[in-house]
Amino acid sequence: MSLLNIDKLRKRFGETVAVEDVSFNVNPGEFYGLLGPNGAGKTTTISLVCGLLKPDEGSIGVDGTDFWSNPKESHRLMGLVPQDLALYEELTGRENLEFWGKVAGLSRNDAKERATELLESLTLSDRGNDAISKYSGGMKRRINLGCALMHRPKLLLLDEPTVGIDPQARMNILDFIRGLANDGTGILYTTHYLEEAESLCDRIGIIDHGKILAEGTLADLRNQIGHDQLSLCWKESSRALIGLNGLAFKSRFA
Ligand SMILES: Nc1ncnc2c1ncn2[C@@H]1O[C@H](COP(=O)(O)OP(=O)(O)O)[C@@H](O)[C@H]1O
Ligand SMILES: [Mg+2]
């Protein structure tokens, strides 16, 4: 059984259809990438999955239960790493972790222990008592990730978690997330970086204009689209025509 089961999700904002008939699954231990340019519908999809938005149509199953039949239990199973940092700048790294741990229902002692553990695994032990305002961009991203992991979620949702940080910091974060998947956490990861999706994901869904255009392992996608063409679409940073299974569809990859 899939950990996350999305079926024919649809969401519109006025005239804009942000998400249209989106369906996919994420299994335990699987690293699933949602790859698409700005405005493709990635954040809207993530917001629907974690209940920040309600779908117009379609369903979201979390560990076999419909999300909206038990939102509280669904939330307990998932952790969200939002695209924009959700940290208190004036609090320390440790205080931010403990705060989000308590929001997720941990006792004071459990939050403390878990924060110590995460500061260590995120290699931030020596900076845990510094205010977030003194952190580098990469360190803030690591704490932002840690906050989502306090309650040990089975499913981790990451919305472009490496935007705006240097390559070394990015590598550290990506290695860490890969490790979580190897330990059994299901990962839903959005990105507009083709290289990230290629190097990390077990399966990739390519999304644009709110629709999944193609889905599969990297090998599947290469067979369907052709690797050179896939890369070209990203490099061109303009509208590109992709032929897939005899179908031609227009897409823009920036
Ligand atoms: N709250 C909103 N109100 C109106 N339009 C929105 C809102 N959120 C997103 N959109 C629109 O929905 C589309 C998908 O946006 P989004 O999911 O944020 O894309 P991505 O995360 O892939 O960049 C875009 O056209 C965006 O302008
Ligand atoms: Mg987004």
Express each pLDDT in 88-133 by its tens digit.
999 999 999 999 999 999 999 999 999 999 999 999 999 999 999 9
- Which protein residue's CA is at the shortest distance from atom 1 of ligand 1? 13
Q: What is the pLDDT of residue 75?
A: 94
Element (H, E) at 231: helix 227-235
**Rounded Cα gap, residues 48 and 61, in angstroms:** 11
- Which protein residue's CA is at the shortest distance from atom 3 of ligand 1? 13
Confidence of residue 184 (pLDDT cuts 50, 70, 90): very high
Q: What is the pLDDT of residue 239?
A: 36
For residue 30, pLDDT over 90 is answered with yes
Nearest ligand to residue 211 Cα: 1
For residue 45, pLDDT over 80 is answered with yes
Residues 6+ apart with CB under 8 A from 239: 250, 251, 252
Nearest ligand to residue 206 Cα: 1
Give the rounded percent of residues in the chain with a pLDDT score beyond 90.
73
Ligand 1 atom nearest to CA at 40: 22
Ligand 1 pocket, mutate which of 12, 42, 44, 84 (most atoms under 8 A from CB): 44
Q: What is the largest CA-CA distance in the chain?
A: 59
Ligand 1 atom nearest to CA at 43: 21
Superfamily of domain 4-252: P-loop containing nucleotide triphosphate hydrolases (3.40.50.300)
Ligand 1 center–CA 207 separation, angstroms:
13
Burial class (CB in 10 A: 0-12, 13-18, 19+), 95: middle
Q: Which two tokens stand for residue 177?
A: 């997330």
Q: What is the pLDDT of residue 230?
A: 62
Residues lining ligand 1, Cβ inside 6 A: 13, 16, 18, 36, 38-44
Cite the DSSP H helix spans in 70-136. 71-77, 93-103, 108-121
**Rounded Cα gap, residues 196 and 24, in angstroms:** 19
Task: Give the residue-averaged pLDDT of 43-67.
Answer: 97
Count of CA atoms in the C-beta half-sphere (13 A) of 189? 31
Ligand 2 center–CA 160 separation, angstroms:
7
Other Cβ atoms within 10 Å of 134 Cβ, number: 11
For residue 32, pLDDT over 90 is answered with yes
Could you state, in order of their start, the residue ranges of all structural domains in the chain?
4-252
Task: Look up tokens 């939102």; give the residue.
Answer: 71
Confidence of residue 148 (pLDDT cuts 50, 70, 90): very high
Residues 6+ apart with CB under 8 A from 143: 87, 93, 96, 97, 122, 124, 132, 135
